[in-house]
């Protein structure tokens, strides 16, 4: 309408559906199990302490042969890149998950972990429906397929692990040193071996009406999903292998779509790691032996990778549990009119429901890790030389008790807005709404302020370390968008005040406790 104020960028609707990522027509309920390969590696490192156990585990791990040729990115000394693949192979599950109708396997969850010379670890995830260029390959029947575009997760189905590795190396310019995969059957065994874990299911009034692959209308909610078979909650729910499979497979019934699914997988990952490394498991010979067998049965490594090569990867899992690992996800979007696509259902003629990415976005992720993206110059990936003027807060002159704000979760970390809102309220701020931002791919937290709110915004910025401020004439008041780098809320110090003396806070010990389930 004429004169209407546009929505802030973090609240902009996509295709007329506010606050919910577009989802294309996708098969229901494949397991995002790449993270389970991480769990398996950590379990083997922690549990296989004795020589007899180590020898058994090393001999029981499956291996796959990779035929990669000689045209590969160079090896970099002191650097290791692990490709972790969670496949939707139904091998070992019969028809339980559609085994009779699903042929072969697809890389449902693919994660590239880069371990730098200085010990820093970065985890890069690739959405499975991303449209990418797949290298030339020869299939099992001897037929040669030319270089072509296709879905990311089809590479392993078409040409096996070798084609997937070649595609990753071509896409990122980074050499894959180690290949690790885990499938559905292995996922169940690992969870059953530790006796299941507790997960948190938050309440939600959202009801998802959609058509399945056969055109049948279905209804799913956060607590009951006919596609994955999940039923439970709200509240704390104890899940075993079968229930856990449904918990992490659910992709319908969420307002946030696949983002909520990723949040569930991350929550489950932390729960399994805590349980697998607890004294209840490690000091129980029956449980620890069963766990080692389950982990080794679940894993498949390339022929040049052994359990010794997984040692550093297993140690990096502790950094993940503590929240110190760098986590990146390739930003994607649904096809629009400018791409020749159909914005109504997110499809692209000839390819179906796919996601598109900007090569510059990919380059910004992989270039700092030693990779490169064809057609993108290094200059397009570097940060500006001048400091961000909004990074340094001004003087704190407005007390928190006089400031009202809305808090948005701009990351994929579940419950972040509510957690921060509680901490801000404790400091005296008046918090109104707690919502999800759109998109939820912010790294740095931002304090957006409307006309006349700059000084109040500086107080909020001082309370959220690492946040930056931005003037936004389209909003009234203050909006705090929490990014992936958000850590805590501190007491903002009024200009001229002297900090109170006191003992230094104790350094945190061990992985953080499991998240509470706030109902």
So where are the chain's domains? 34-330, 400-482
Residues 6+ apart with CB under 8 A from 141: none
Q: Which of 81-90, 245-254, 353-362 has the lowest mean pLDDT?
A: 81-90
Phi/psi of residue 151, nearest 5 degrees: -65, 145
Contact 187, 241 (CB under 8 A): yes
Contact 335, 342 (CB under 8 A): yes
Using the predicted structure, report yes or no on whether residue 141 has a pLDDT greater than 90.
Answer: no
Contact 135, 168 (CB under 8 A): no
Q: For residue 122, what pLDDT is reported?
A: 86
Q: For residue 3, what pLDDT is reported?
A: 39
3 state SS of 519: coil
How large a percentage of the chain has pLDDT more than 70? 68
Using the predicted structure, report yes or no on whether residue 382 has a pLDDT greater than 60.
Answer: no
Q: Which of 9-13, 26-30, 159-163 has the lowest mean pLDDT?
A: 26-30
Q: How many CA atoms lie within 13 A of 216 on its CB side?
A: 8
Distance between CA atoms of residues 314 and 309, nearest Å: 9
List, for residues 300-310, the tens digit of each pLDDT value: 888 888 777 77
Distance between CA atoms of residues 300 and 80, nearest Å: 18
Q: For residue 30, what pLDDT is reported?
A: 35
CA 123, chain centre distance (Å): 9
* CA-wise closest residue to 409 among 465, 471, 484, 322: 484
Cβ burial of 334 (10 Å; 0-12, 13-18, 19+) is buried
Using the predicted structure, report yes or no on whether residue 149 has a pLDDT greater than 90.
Answer: yes
* CA-wise closest residue to 466 among 449, 450, 453, 483: 483
Using the predicted structure, report yes or no on whether residue 498 has a pLDDT greater than 50.
Answer: no
Q: For residue 424, what pLDDT is reported?
A: 95
The sign one gets for the Cα dihedral 433, 437, 441, 442 is: negative
Distance between the two ends of the chain, CA-based, in angstroms?
A: 39
* CA-wise closest residue to 413 among 492, 330, 333, 320: 320
List, for residues 408-458, the tens digit of each pLDDT value: 998 888 889 999 999 999 999 999 988 888 777 787 899 999 888 999 999
Q: For residue 15, what pLDDT is reported?
A: 35
Using the predicted structure, report yes or no on whether residue 196 has a pLDDT greater than 70.
Answer: yes
- Is the domain spanning 34-330 CATH 3.40.50.1400? The answer is no
Q: For residue 441, what pLDDT is reported?
A: 75
Strand segments, DSSP code E, in 309-421 are 326-329, 347-348, 352-353, 404-409
Residues 6+ apart with CB under 8 A from 69: 166
Using the predicted structure, report yes or no on whether residue 283 has a pLDDT greater than 90.
Answer: no
DSSP 8-state code for residue 277: T
Summarize the confidence of residues 159-171 as an average pLDDT: 94
Q: For residue 100, what pLDDT is reported?
A: 33
Confidence band of 206 (pLDDT split at 50, 70, 90): confident
Q: For residue 137, what pLDDT is reported?
A: 92
> Domain 400-482 adopts which CATH fold?
Alpha-Beta Plaits (3.30.70)
**Element of type H or E holding 13:** none
List, for residues 353-363, the tens digit of each pLDDT value: 898 999 988 99
Contact 39, 269 (CB under 8 A): yes
Using the predicted structure, report yes or no on whether residue 515 has a pLDDT greater than 90.
Answer: no
How large a percentage of the chain has pLDDT more than 90? 25
**Element of type H or E holding 244:** helix 241-249
Q: Could you please report the per-residue DSSP string of 156-212? A: HHHHHHHHHHHHHHHHH-----EEEEE-HHHHHHHHHHTT-EEEEE-----EEEEE-
List, for residues 2-26, the tens digit of each pLDDT value: 333 444 555 544 333 333 333 333 3
Q: For residue 34, what pLDDT is reported?
A: 46
Using the predicted structure, report yes or no on whether residue 225 has a pLDDT greater than 90.
Answer: yes
Summarize the confidence of residues 148-156 as an average pLDDT: 91
Q: What is the mean pLDDT of the chain?
A: 75
Q: For residue 41, what pLDDT is reported?
A: 55
């Amino acid at each position: 309408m004429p004169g209407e104020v546009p929505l802030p960028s973090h609240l902009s609707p996509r295709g007329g559906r506010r606050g919910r990522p577009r989802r294309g027509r996708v098969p229901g309920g494949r397991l995002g199990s790449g993270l389970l390969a991480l769990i398996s590696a950590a379990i083997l490192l922690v549990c296989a302490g004795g020589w007899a156990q180590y020898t058994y585990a090393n001999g029981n791990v499956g291996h796959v042969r990779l035929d990669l040729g000689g045209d590969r990115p160079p090896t970099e000394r002191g650097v290791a890149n692990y490709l972790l693949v969670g496949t939707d192979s139904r091998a070992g599950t019969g028809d339980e998950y559609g085994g009779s109708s699903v042929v072969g396997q697809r890389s449902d969850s693919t994660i590239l972990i880069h371990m730098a010379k200085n010990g820093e670890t970065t985890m890069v995830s690739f959405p499975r429906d991303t449209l990418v260029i797949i290298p030339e390959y020869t299939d099992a029947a001897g037929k040669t397929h030319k270089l072509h575009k296709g879905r990311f997760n089809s590479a392993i189905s078409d040409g096996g692990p070798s084609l997937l590795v070649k595609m990753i190396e071509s896409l990122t310019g980074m050499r894959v040193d180690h290949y690790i995969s885990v499938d559905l059957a292995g996922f169940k065994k690992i969870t059953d071996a530790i006796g299941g874990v507790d997960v948190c299911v938050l309440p939600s009034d959202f009801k998802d009406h959609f058509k399945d692959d056969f055109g049948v209308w279905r209804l799913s909610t956060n607590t009951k999903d006919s596609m994955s078979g999940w039923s439970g909650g709200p509240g704390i729910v104890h899940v075993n292998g079968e229930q856990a499979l449904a918990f992490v497979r659910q992709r319908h019934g969420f307002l946030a779509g696949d983002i909520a699914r990723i949040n569930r997988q991350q929550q489950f990952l932390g729960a399994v790691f805590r349980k697998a490394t607890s004294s209840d498991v490690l000091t129980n010979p029956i449980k620890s032996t069963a766990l080692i067998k389950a982990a080794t049965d679940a894993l498949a490594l390339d022929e040049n990778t052994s359990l010794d090569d997984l040692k550093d990867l297993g140690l990096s899992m502790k950094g993940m549990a503590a929240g110190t690992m760098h986590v990146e996800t390739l930003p994607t979007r649904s096809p629009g009119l400018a791409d020749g696509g159909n914005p109504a259902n997110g499809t692209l003629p000839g390819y179906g429901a796919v996601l598109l990415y900007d090569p510059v976005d990919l380059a910004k992720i992989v270039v700092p890790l030693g990779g490169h993206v064809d057609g993108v110059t290094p200059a397009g990936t570097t940060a500006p030389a001048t400091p961000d003027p909004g990074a340094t807060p001004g003087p704190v002159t407005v007390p928190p008790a006089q400031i009202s704000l809305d808090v948005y979760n701009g990351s994929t970390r579940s419950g972040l807005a509510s957690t921060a809102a509680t901490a801000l309220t404790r400091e005296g701020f008046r918090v109104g709404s707690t919502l999800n931002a759109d998109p939820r791919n912010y790294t740095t937290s931002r304090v957006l302020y409307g006309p006349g709110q700059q000084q109040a915004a500086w107080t909020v910025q001082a309370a959220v370390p690492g946040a930056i401020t931005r003037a936004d004439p389209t909003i009234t008041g203050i909006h705090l968008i929490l990014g992936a780098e958000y850590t805590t809320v501190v007491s903002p110090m009024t200009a001229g005040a002297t900090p109170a003396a006191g003992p230094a806070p104790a350094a945190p010990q061990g992985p953080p406790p499991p998240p509470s389930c706030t109902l």
